[in-house]
Amino acid sequence: MPQKRNKSTPDDLPLTVLQRLMHVERCLFWRGELQRADLVDTFGINPVQAAMDFRVYMERYPGNMDYNKSRKRYLPLPGFRPQLIEPVTLDEFTSIPSPLIPVATWPLPKRRATPHVLLAMVAAVRERQKIEVQYQSMTGDKPTWRWLSPHAFASDGERWHVRAYCHTRGEFLDFVLGRILATRHNKPSEIDSARDQKWHTLVEVVVTPNPDLGPGKRQAIAAEYDLPPTSMEATLNLRQSMLFYVKAKFDPELVPDPAAHQLFIATLPS
């Protein structure tokens, strides 16, 4: 489970131990308790190692956790403050079941590629190969075979794309991984990825709370996105090839209701 580490994370502990101690804090924060089985089952260690991990944690961070003999589990103490993790989003904790904290997520279908396609495309990028793919574009009725020279992957936050030179179109384009239905032949590519200027050009985009919202609502949105309270602006550094997706997400013309369109592009690179 990826999570944001605290700035005070120690660098003198083995990574495996550090990961287990971070899980200790996740359980204390989210469930308010944990047992040896939480480490044993999650990391496949033995109970003796789990007991050693608990001891290491309590020695390093006294006042955060103690063993409750009557309940036979470890509990956070009243002054508990995470020292190894920095809780900033519930995404970090929802995989830990907690009977006291109900959680629901959007039941949206996942956009995904098949393992075969992922394996082939990752290998093509890594080996600098040209690969023939069957792709379903949104401009054609049927999927067609085409040769691509892929060189990078990118995400717009909702789906993954592969950045590639299309030998059919004669230009560098984005291709949705989930729309690649199959792959077959591959060969060494003669395309130099340095020619993809839109990928290698970095641009800055300034976003701010929608100016059509009232002052109080704009301040609330700024606080939600951790924007400076005075300027209420954030500068996004991204590749020029990703501008299309940023504009599609934040363009106010797409959603006329300002309450439904909370962030706004203040400036775009010329």
CATH number of the domain bearing residue 173: 2.30.30
For all residues of the chain together, what is the average pLDDT?
88
Domain assignment present for 23:
yes
Q: Which one, of 183, 117, 172, lies nearest residue 150 by Cα?
A: 172
Does residue 206 sit in the same domain as residue 254? yes
Domain assignment present for 38:
yes
Domain assignment present for 128:
yes
Does residue 75 sit in the same domain as residue 27? yes
CA distances to 50, 91, 270 from 195, rounded to whole Å, are 53, 38, 21
Q: In whole angstroms, give the CA distance from residue 83 to residue 73.
A: 20
Query: When comparing pLDDT for 74 and 235, which is higher?
Result: 74
**Dihedral over alpha carbons 38, 42, 46, 50 (to 10 degrees):** -50
pLDDT digits (tens, 9 = 90+) for 78-87: 999 999 998 8
Domain assignment present for 101:
no
Q: In whole angstroms, give the CA distance from residue 219 to residue 124.
A: 47
Does residue 81 sit in the same domain as residue 128? no
Q: Is-contact 135 144, C-beta < 8 A?
A: yes
User: In this model, does residue 182 exceed pLDDT 60?
Assistant: yes
Q: Which one, of 24, 27, 50, 25, lies nearest residue 37 by Cα?
A: 50
Q: Three-state DSSP class for 150?
A: strand
User: ∠42-26-95 over CA atoms, to 5°?
Assistant: 60
User: In this model, does residue 246 exceed pLDDT 60?
Assistant: yes
Q: Is-contact 26 3, C-beta < 8 A?
A: yes
Does residue 208 sit in the same domain as residue 166? no
Element (H, E) at 133: strand 129-135
Domain assignment present for 141:
yes
Q: In whole angstroms, give the CA distance from residue 250 to residue 262.
A: 8
Place 1 in a pLDDT band, splitting at 50, 70 and 90: very low
Which residues touch 25 (CB under 8 Å, ≥6 apart)?
82, 83, 84, 85
Other C-beta atoms within 10 Å of 136: how many?
14
Place 76 in a pLDDT band, splitting at 50, 70 and 90: very high
Alpha carbon 33 to its chain's center: 27
pLDDT digits (tens, 9 = 90+) for 42-66: 999 999 999 999 999 999 999 999 9
> Of the residues 177, 198, 219, which one is the last residue of a structural domain?
198
Domain assignment present for 162:
yes
Other C-beta atoms within 10 Å of 11: how many?
6
Q: In whole angstroms, give the CA distance from residue 112 to residue 121.
A: 13
What pLDDT, on the 0 to 100 scale, is given for residue 3? 46
Question: What is residue 85's DSSP assignment?
Answer: B
Does residue 186 sit in the same domain as residue 261? no
Query: When comparing pLDDT for 255 and 35, which is higher?
Result: 35
Q: In whole angstroms, give the CA distance from residue 98 to residue 33.
A: 10
Place 98 in a pLDDT band, splitting at 50, 70 and 90: confident
Q: 205: which strand partners?
A: 236
Does residue 38 sit in the same domain as residue 51? yes
Q: β-strands 202-209, 180-188: how paired?
A: unpaired
Domain extent, residue 256, equals: 201-267
pLDDT digits (tens, 9 = 90+) for 134-173: 999 888 889 999 999 999 999 887 789 999 999 999 999 9
Specify the CATH number for the domain of residue 30: 1.10.10.10
